[in-house]
Amino acid sequence: MVSEKIRNMMDSSSFIRKMFETGAKLKQEFGSENVYDFSLGNPAMDPPEIFTKILLEKAADHHMHRYMPNAGYLDVREKVAEYISSEQETAVTANNIVMTSGAGGALNTILKTIINPGDKIIASIPCFMEYKFYCDNHGGELNLVNGKDDFNLDIEAIETAITEKTAAVIINSPNNPSGRIYPKETLDSLAAMLNKKSKETGRTIYLISDEPYRKIVYNNITVPSVMDTYKNSVVCTSYSKDLSVPGERIGWLAVNPVAEDYENLINGIILCNRILGYVNAPALMQRTIAELQGVSVDINLYKNKRDILAKKLAEFGFKFKIPDGTFYFFVEAPGGFDMKLVDLLKEERILVVPGRGFSLPGYFRIAYCVDDSVIEGSMAGFKRTAEKLGLKQE
């Protein structure tokens, strides 16, 4: 029998299941080309051609299917380290890197390494709600705090939430679902506050930076580095979004080389990567991404989709902040009724995620990692919905 805890979790995330079911039903009834599915952060875009070329070359190498060090191949980690030393503006070596099964694998690995039973992990609303399950997996509890109205971090709110039970703060920039990139000044204030609170509580508070959207940014904005800012930081990321390969489960985790208790921390992480059952990140994918450092899908294609949607949604009277990064719009649900909006859009065969899926009802998320035809096809439905709601058209 399914445990009570898992049954409760299934209930609490049941709207996601319902959304899948509704989507599948609508697609069966009307044909998938007549359903405009913006619900998943699952990129429709193919990976860059070079990805497939290198994958095929590596697959032809027959001597690479065995177990390996749990942290991943040394030469792969060397290549990753070289690349991220410039990206994170910190001298990182292969020893600071553990290859993981996507960002989800990286997050679970670090959380398992640092959580004592009953510990709290702080995250800012709105956020990717799988964090709640990831914390629970390891006996911890996610402690959500409100962000600012512009979706920036509220450092005071985080400070107020910290107790001696706080093991870490997770941040995600560029943010799913808001598209917000936290500025350098915000990270500096966060770091100063975490240093102060670590002293006060007598325990190291880690900063876990979840960065799978780092390369999906617009107008040449750079995402400031946490490693450069806070010594007890760990970066978790993947190639899922920027190379369009989420099914391949490949990412990495990097520990700041100047973190306290560094040797124990990295060895604990390597052990946890193993005993969580990941054992090591997929071999063929490690070999492939090693040759693709700095490569990503064409971000301009996402920018075009963003700009078309922004123009049209604004014209129809929807209110939102233009995302600086990611492929999500987080749009105000008129009157604050996210479920009502989701239902109205469903009548138009448009699927989006209610804000409550990110702990912020009052909004809905549009994932625009879809074909242009989905965006074009959905426009009439968005317009009719705006009209039904009496939004003021531009």
Q: Which two tokens stand for residue 52?
A: 């497939």
Binding residue for ligand PLP, selected from 176, 232, 256, 378, defined by CB under 6 A = 176
Q: Which amino acid is at 240?
A: S
Shortest Å distance, C-beta 355 to ligand PLP: 15
d(CA 162, CA 202): 12
Is residue 251 near ligand PLP by the rule CB under 6 A? yes
Positions in 93-152 near ligand PLP (CB under 6 A): 102-104, 128
Site string for ligand PLP, 16-45 (x = CB under 6 A): -------------------------x----
Q: How far is the CB of 212 from ligand PLP (least distance, A)?
A: 5
By the rule CB under 6 A, 242 interacts with ligand PLP: no
Contact 239, 251 (CB under 8 A): yes
Which of residues 198 and 225 has its CB atom nearest to ligand PLP in the complex? 225
Please count the residues of this chain forming the interface with ligand PLP, following the rule CB under 6 A.
13
Residue among 37, 87, 210, 248 that touches ligand PLP (CB under 6 A): 210
Residue 18: exposed, middle, or buried by beta-carbon count in 10 A (0-12, 13-18, 19+)? exposed
Q: How far is CA 110 from CA 91, 97, 122, 132, 254, in A?
A: 21, 12, 14, 14, 10
**CA distances, 115 to each of 72, 106, 180, 205, 314 (Å):** 23, 14, 28, 11, 44
Residue 172 within binding range of ligand PLP, rule CB under 6 A: yes
CA-CA distance, 360 to 339, in Å (whole number)? 12
**Nearer to ligand PLP (CB atom), residue 210 or residue 324:** 210
Nearer to ligand PLP by Cβ, of 39 and 240: the residue is: 240
Q: Which is nearer to ligand PLP, 131 or 218 (CB)?
A: 131
Radius of gyration of the chain (CA): 21
Shortest Å distance, C-beta 151 to ligand PLP: 14
User: Considering only CA atoms, which of 136, 285, 327, 124 is closest in space to residue 207?
Assistant: 124
Applying CB under 6 A, does 48 fall inside the site for ligand PLP? no
Q: Residue 226 interacts with ligand PLP (CB under 6 A)?
A: no
Q: What is the DSSP letter of 257?
A: T
Give whole-number Cα distances, 36 to 137, 164, 188, 341, 351, in Å.
Answer: 34, 47, 41, 15, 6
Out of 126, 140, 224, 246, the only residue in the binding site for ligand PLP (CB under 6 A) is 246
**The tokens of 95 are what?**
């020893």
Interaction site with ligand PLP (CB under 6 A):
41, 102-104, 128, 172, 176, 210, 212, 238, 240, 246, 251
